[in-house]
Structure 1
Amino acid sequence: MSGLVDRERDAYRSAHPESQRVHERAEHLFGRVPMTWMSKWSGGFPLAYATAHGNKITDVDGHTYVDFALGDTGAMAGHSPRATVDAVHRRIAVDGGITTMLPTEDAEWVGAELTRRFGLPRWSFTLSATDANRWAVRLARLVTGRPKLLVFSYCYHGSVDETFIVVGPDGKARSRPGNVAPAVDPTQTTRVAEWNDLAAVERALAHGDVAAILAEPALTNIGIVLPEPGFLDGLRELATKYGALLMIDETHTISAGPGGMTARDGLRPDVFIIGKSLGGGIPCGAYGLTEEIADRVHRITATGSADIVDVGGVGGTLAGNALSLAAMRATLDEVLTDDAFAHMIRLAGDYTEDVRRILETADVPWSVTQLGARAEYRFTRPSPRTGGESAAAADDLLDEYMHLYTLNRGILMTPFHNMALMCPDTTDADIARHAEVFEQAVAELVG
């Protein structure tokens, strides 16, 4: 195994001298990258790219890749989709005004479209799902008068402090390993349960101090871990029973369809969070509220005890800017359409079946899981049912081998896990090429 990894590392370094030079020259960048997670590429340095269009990326060394990473969902609409580019150009070069702190007509159009897709009637905009989660958590605390959040072990909600908490080997809550200098130990702000464990959820809620359950409807950033039948309905019932809100974060799980798992599976959140993919690559995010929650917020703020307009920590100067909203309108209206999702989901199904067939033929004890237009394999079989099980299946050396093997042969996977995402520009030929490379990688591995 180590010999195969060494070979792929050598091939990567040999083929990417310009990317390596870009990395080595970046003396003024913390970690030599624009944002620190960009260091999480196999091979010792990240690719530097020159161009990106549709589902293809060309790096500074001239190599072109089929991109299944798609900016970890940020480019789920494809790179620089024409409708989004035209709308952004029109806003910048024709209409003018990127940030004015004034509303545009696009805002109401986007709000209405989000209501059509996800059901919640009241929306506010952010620049990321992280911000949307942070601000919505504040509102949940405001309307319930309760201090704590309930999340799931190895969930992902961006860089929200309260969510970096896991169930430890002893069954007790602890800060997630690697958590960077939290201002407050998250065990003081948050309760945590394992995914698919309704009994643990009820025990946490029974304390009476949980303002909201914050959940992805399927875990995604620890590998795709699907909800078992009845689990999401159980969350809704328990939240109602114990007076907590149900917050659903579909930033990644929108891959399930135009309305995410919320529309597909008939979920009934009190608060909804979305981000990243809706702007076609332009920074954006949003949170939605039911009429009841919006009314409760307004009644409380009308007393003067909370200020969501100015000093309350709910908002930002660039949030709801004209450029983001123009991009969201174009992307939702013309790119991430019902037909586009049907195409993407079909291709993800073909991808999943290819991977499953190859693993079964080679008798490799891995598993693969599909969530709409997204699929991911894990180094364990059967598929994990909790975040803890999925985390335990991690294998850094295998990860490096698979990432470098595919990258060295023109396939770009998500660098921090084995997720493949389809976009409207992905083709059957791209799926076939991945199957060919994946089969070769597995064959060499089992030797």
Structure 2
Amino acid sequence: MQQTSDRIGGVPVRSIEALRAREAAIFAASRPRSAAAAAAPSGFLDGVPLHWMLDWPMPFRMVVAQARGATITDIDDHRLDDFCLGDTGSMFGHSPAPVARAIRRQAGRGLTYMLPNEDAAVVGRLLVERFGLPFWQVATTATDANRFALRLARAITDRPKILVFNGCYHGSVDETMVRLRDGRAINRPGLAGEFRDLAQATMIVEFNDLPALEAALAARDVACVITEPVLTNSCMVLPAPGFHDALRRATRETGTLLLIDETHTISTGLGGYTRTFGLEPDLFVLGKPVAGGVPAAVWGMTEEVAMRWEAYQKTKEQGYSGMGTTLSANPLQFAAMRATLEEVMTAENYARMERFAERLEAGLSAAIGRHGLPWHVARVGARVEFICAPGPLANGAEAEAAHAPALEAAIHVALVNRGCLIAPFHNMMLVSPATTARQVDRLVGAFGAVCAELAGH
């Protein structure tokens, strides 16, 4: 709707291209050491150890020298206010002091031995206290945790299908790699090496579309609905009033389990969106920041689900369950999770994050309004996004249509050149406990300057 042949997001394409070219030249000229590193043979496919690193819109990846608190310094000695924070992995700041101390302490005691230690018992109790569910397991990534939870759901319900919402993100779980096109489910474009029609096992409807949800569940062959409380890995889509209550009612009426994936929405507040808004999932997944940046994830379940799993195990054939990995639940994870849950993921830190996120939201919205751009800002707790389209958005299809890659890339590089780093995906910004008012104001000022240029002011 907002894109035409000569305008994207209400901005002339020529203005976007001019901004992108100029800012790319400034970036390249100011980072000779990173440029040399990017050009040198690395031994990595496409020059990066993880292909996601190719998604940054800069001319080349800058190389990080260190990250501390809410600041990243690159090898060319540029200090950036970091609002990406490892795409949520460092949501509470880089190397929080309690986590760093715990890692150093555990390093002398062994890193993995496939047995629990004293920290494990403490973490188990903290998870119950913080998130409300009585039984937990530990994985290494949220992708793994989601995969294991869905396997359990299929096992105890004896149902073959899952249901997702269009535009969802649950890591690289195969079953969730579908999208809606012309009213039917298809494999997501771009999947590498996929040999199955994933739509055979996955149903997909639009977020906030209760009639479609109820119709999809009516056959009672869906084992589990897996959802984020807010669509986040697209342009952000908030739930409509009453949506989560209706979702919970529909799943219970059809015997379908409900899995809430809080990996991004843990930004909402203490206990995540689930605790803040009183959701009642059967299964719960949290990854990324739960161990302060150390790879770890957790998945929890209700007592009823645990009892059904226990009964299932008594009848299943002996053999590998397909759930678990050797390095999961290692003592380094437990040390970092304990420090995070006890000393970092606190009500006081969340209150500070919320206060500065409100300040950021207000500042970005004011800049958009001041320059007459047809954009809007969305926020869930400490997570803020500016979206280069009118809003609010109602579902995944609208979120996809609102995505404006060329415009967003130009803005991103311009912000980097002004000392502010945001996520390379969806204009996402996080406020950490280490983020200062000065950093927030600097980002608002930089964003306002870029808006002014794009608006021709």
Query: What TM-score range do you get, normalising by the shorter chain?
Result: over 0.9
Match of 2:75 in 1: 60
Identity of aligned residues (%): 44
Q: Deviations over 1:41-74 (max 9, x none)?
A: 1123212100000000000111000000000100
Q: Is the 8 A contact 1:72 1:414 kept in 2?
A: yes
SS in 1 for 2:62: coil
Give TM-score, length-normalised by structure 2. Answer: 0.95
Match of 2:126 in 1: 113
Q: Is the 8 A contact 1:224 1:371 kept in 2?
A: no
Structure 2: distance between partners of 1:338 and 1:319? 28
Give TM-score, length-normalised by structure 1. Answer: 0.97
Shift of 1:26: 4.0
Match of 2:10 in 1: none
Match of 1:157 in 2: 170
Q: Is the 8 A contact 2:364 2:444 kept in 1?
A: yes
1:339 maps to a residue whose letter is E
Pick the aligned partner of 2:40 from 5, 25, 33: 25
Structure 2: distance between partners of 1:329 and 1:344? 21
Q: Is the 8 A contact 1:165 1:175 kept in 2?
A: yes
Q: Is the 8 A contact 2:235 2:402 kept in 1?
A: no
SS in 1 for 2:167: coil
SS in 1 for 2:424: coil
Q: Deviations over 1:105-148 (max 9, x none)?
A: 21221122121121110000000100000000000000100011
Pick the aligned partner of 1:355 from 350, 364, 367: 364
Structure 2: distance between partners of 1:200 and 1:237? 14
Residue 417 (structure 2) pairs with residue 404 (structure 1): no
Structure 2: distance between partners of 1:161 and 1:18? 39
SS in 1 for 2:229: coil
1:296 maps to a residue whose letter is R
Shift of 1:88: 0.6
Residue 387 (structure 2) pairs with residue 378 (structure 1): yes
Match of 1:305 in 2: 317
Q: Is the 8 A contact 2:83 2:421 kept in 1?
A: yes
Structure 2: distance between partners of 1:3 and 1:288? 50
Q: Is the 8 A contact 1:300 1:306 kept in 2?
A: no
Residue 343 (structure 2) pairs with residue 334 (structure 1): yes
Shift of 1:306: 5.8
Q: Deviations over 1:341-388 (max 9, x none)?
A: 000011111100001111111111001011001100111112211111
Mark the CA change 1:30 to 1:146 in structure 2 (over 3 Å): closer, same or farther: same
Gaps of 5+ in 2: 1-14
Pick the aligned partner of 1:42 from 57, 75, 82: 57
Q: Deviations over 1:2-24 (max 9, x none)?
A: 11111011111111221122222
Match of 2:6 in 1: none
Q: Is the 8 A contact 2:403 2:426 kept in 1?
A: no
2:28 maps to a residue whose letter is R
Structure 1: distance between partners of 2:297 and 2:142? 5
Structure 2: distance between partners of 1:250 and 1:82? 24
Structure 2: distance between partners of 1:48 and 1:391? 31
2:32 maps to a residue whose letter is P
1:384 maps to a residue whose letter is L
SS in 2 for 1:199: helix
Q: Is the 8 A contact 1:378 1:390 kept in 2?
A: no
Q: Deviations over 1:295-324 (max 9, x none)?
A: 1111111224365xxx11111100000001
Q: Is the 8 A contact 1:164 1:176 kept in 2?
A: yes
Q: Is the 8 A contact 2:34 2:75 kept in 1?
A: yes
2:454 maps to a residue whose letter is L
1:57 maps to a residue whose letter is I
Structure 2: distance between partners of 1:188 and 1:97? 45
Structure 2: distance between partners of 1:70 and 1:102? 31
Q: Deviations over 1:212-235 (max 9, x none)?
A: 000000000102211011101111
Pick the aligned partner of 2:135 from 122, 143, 154: 122
Match of 1:343 in 2: 352
Residues 92-103 of structure 1 aligned to structure 2 (within 5 Å):
92-93=107-108, 96-103=109-116
Mark the CA change 1:196 to 1:26 in structure 2 (over 3 Å): closer, same or farther: farther
Residue 186 (structure 2) pairs with residue 186 (structure 1): no
Residues 403-442 of structure 1 aligned to structure 2 (within 5 Å):
403-442=412-451
2:262 maps to a residue whose letter is E
Structure 1: distance between partners of 2:392 and 2:176? 24
Match of 1:135 in 2: 148
SS in 2 for 1:141: helix
Match of 2:306 in 1: 294
Aligned residue pairs total 441
Match of 2:3 in 1: none
Q: Is the 8 A contact 1:140 1:212 kept in 2?
A: yes
Q: Is the 8 A contact 1:157 1:249 kept in 2?
A: yes
Shift of 1:208: 2.0
Shift of 1:178: 1.5
Structure 2: distance between partners of 1:125 and 1:379? 38
Mark the CA change 1:147 to 1:306 in structure 2 (over 3 Å): closer, same or farther: farther
Shift of 1:181: 2.4
Match of 2:267 in 1: 255
SS in 2 for 1:138: helix
Q: Is the 8 A contact 1:272 1:287 kept in 2?
A: yes
Residue 399 (structure 2) pairs with residue 390 (structure 1): yes
Q: Could you say what the CA RMSD is over the residues aligned between the two structures, in angstroms?
A: 1.0
SS in 1 for 2:122: helix
SS in 1 for 2:341: helix
Residue 211 (structure 2) pairs with residue 199 (structure 1): yes
SS in 2 for 1:65: strand
SS in 2 for 1:344: helix
